[in-house]
């Protein structure tokens, strides 16, 4: 079982709009509402691949109840800790890649994230106790996404250290201060994108910045670079995964699908070249779908064998 932690759970709302007019009225072509947050998206991808998962995190208020209802209907196994504050809503607005009257214009995606509830120290203590119990049945744990207000920036490092003490490898996908601190908990893998890594470790190349996170305690650093593929700085060397072509669509859940591949590799002890090829293919397959947490199996099957790793 892979445990996924989403401390800032959300109700994800996606609007598919034929063409966004930022100064006028827009007619929405399709609406999707579902439980979200990075860890939930990871769990959806793992479940689609047939792997056992368990979603944990913090949920509260009417939005939290809507999130739990969607997890039940998915169905995704979950064990959430209640908080008094209302969980957040996120809004994604996507345009199609092709525009019949503007063939040279590519589609765009805009994401609006609410900050989430304020979490008390007592609620955080209750979550940590539950987390420690859930680790007993986990082969790996994913710690992903933003932290709600009231949660210390070093909390992912704390959770990773608790997992490591129990022999459970952790993947951390975070940004800003949580990313800077994460390596101190000695996670097996840290997965920033290129911009997140540059903010966390300014100056130098991506390889040097990834190496700096390894020096702070991370076992490996896998950097997602969109159409440019992946960079992995590991204890076995530095690897590059290159994409054969660009997949167009909604990139919102691409990193989450990629993280699902990394978590699977920890459980299955997959060699790095195979790990990166599968993770990159899952990320591309996620871009081809309209909502985060899904993958297009046809895109995955086509692009996977064409990804080169050096």
Which are the catalytic amino acids? 256
Q: How far apart are CA 38 and CA 33, in angstroms?
A: 15
DSSP 204: S
Q: Which two tokens stand for residue 233?
A: 């700085």
User: Which residues, 6 or more positions from 156, have their beta carbon under 8 angstroms from its beta carbon?
Assistant: 143, 147, 172, 174, 178, 181, 182, 185, 187
Q: 3-state SS of 256-293? A: HHHHHHHHHHHHHCCCHHHHHHHHHHHHHHHHCCCCCC
d(CA 238, CA 210): 10
3-state secondary structure at position 304: helix
- DSSP SS3 for 80: strand
Tokens of 249: 């669509």
Distance between CA atoms of 58 and 55, rounded to whole angstroms?
10
Distance separating alpha carbons of residues 294 and 257, to the nearest angstrom: 8
User: Chain centroid to CA 45: how far?
Assistant: 10
Strands (E) across the chain are located at 2-6, 10-16, 30-36, 53-59, 78-82, 88-94, 109-113, 140-144, 170-173, 189-190, 220-224, 230-234, 237-242, 308-309
Question: How far is Cα of residue 73 from the mean position of the Cα atoms in its chain?
Answer: 21
């Amino acid at each position: 079982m892979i445990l996924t932690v989403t401390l800032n759970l959300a109700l994800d709302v996606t609007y598919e709009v034929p063409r966004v007019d930022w100064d006028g009225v827009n007619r929405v072509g399709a609406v999707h509402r579902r439980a979200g947050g990075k860890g939930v998206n990871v769990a959806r991808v793992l479940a689609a691949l047939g792997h056992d998962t368990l979603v944990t995190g913090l949920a509260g208020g009417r939005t939290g109840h809507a999130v739990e209802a969607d997890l039940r209907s998915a169905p995704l196994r979950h064990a959430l800790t209640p908080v008094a504050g209302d969980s957040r809503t996120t809004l994604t607005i996507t345009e199609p890649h092709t525009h019949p009257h503007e063939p040279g214009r590519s589609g765009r995606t805009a994401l609006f994230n609410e900050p989430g509830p304020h979490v008390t120290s007592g609620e955080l203590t209750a979550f940590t106790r539950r987390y420690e119990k859930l680790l007993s049945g986990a082969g790996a744990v994913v710690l992903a996404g933003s932290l709600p207000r009231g949660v210390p920036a070093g909390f992912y490092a704390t959770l990773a250290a608790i997992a490591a003490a129990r022999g459970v490898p952790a993947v951390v996908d975070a940004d800003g201060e949580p990313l800077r601190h994460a390596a101190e908990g000695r996670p097996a893998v840290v997965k920033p994108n290129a911009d997140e890594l540059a903010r966390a470790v300014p100056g130098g190349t991506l390889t040097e910045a990834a190496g700096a996170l390894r020096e702070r305690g991370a076992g490996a650093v896998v950097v997602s670079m969109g159409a440019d593929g992946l960079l992995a700085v590991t204890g076995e060397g530095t690897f590059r995964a290159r994409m054969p072509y660009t997949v167009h669509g909604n990139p919102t859940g691409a990193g989450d699908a990629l993280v699902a591949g990394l978590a699977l590799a920890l459980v299955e002890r997959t060699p790095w070249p195979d790990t990166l090829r599968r993770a990159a293919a899952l990320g591309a397959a996620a871009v081809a779908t309209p909502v985060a947490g899904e993958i297009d199996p046809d895109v995955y099957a086509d692009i996977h064998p064409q990804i080169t790793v050096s």
